[in-house]
Amino acid sequence: MCLEPFFNVVNINLVTFSNYFNIEQLKGEIFSIFVITITAIETVIGLD
């Protein structure tokens, strides 16, 4: 349960810096979507 905040921190960093440096490219948002998917997989496998 303490692993999800780590992934959230990574997401916040990605989105914030993609907003800060280059607002048109949306790279950070796309990578944050990938990270969210990985987190969901981790939860499903880790809680089994």
Partner 1 sequence: VNIIQSTKSLHEIIFLFLEVGLILGSLGVVIMTNIVYSTFFLMLVFVCISFMYLLLNVDFVVTAQIFIYVGAINILIVFVIMLINKPPSFNFFPSWTMGDGITCATCIGLFFLLIITISNTSWSKIYLVTQSNNIVEQDLGRNIQCIGYLLLTKYFLPFELLFIILLVALIGAITIAHQEKILEMRVKIQALQAKEDFPTS
Q: Which residues bind partner 1 (CB under 8 A)?
A: 1-2, 4-5, 8, 11-12, 15-16, 19, 21-26, 29-30, 32-34, 36-41, 43-45, 47-48
- Least distance CB 43 / partner 1 (angstroms): 5
What single DSSP character describes residue 25? S
Rounded to the nearest whole angstrom, what is the least distance from the CB of residue 2 to partner 1 in the complex? 7
Secondary structure (3-state) at 43:
helix
The answer to whether the beta carbons of residues 28 and 17 sit under 8 Å apart is yes
- In the complex, the smallest distance separating the C-beta of residue 7 from partner 1, rounded to whole angstroms, is 9
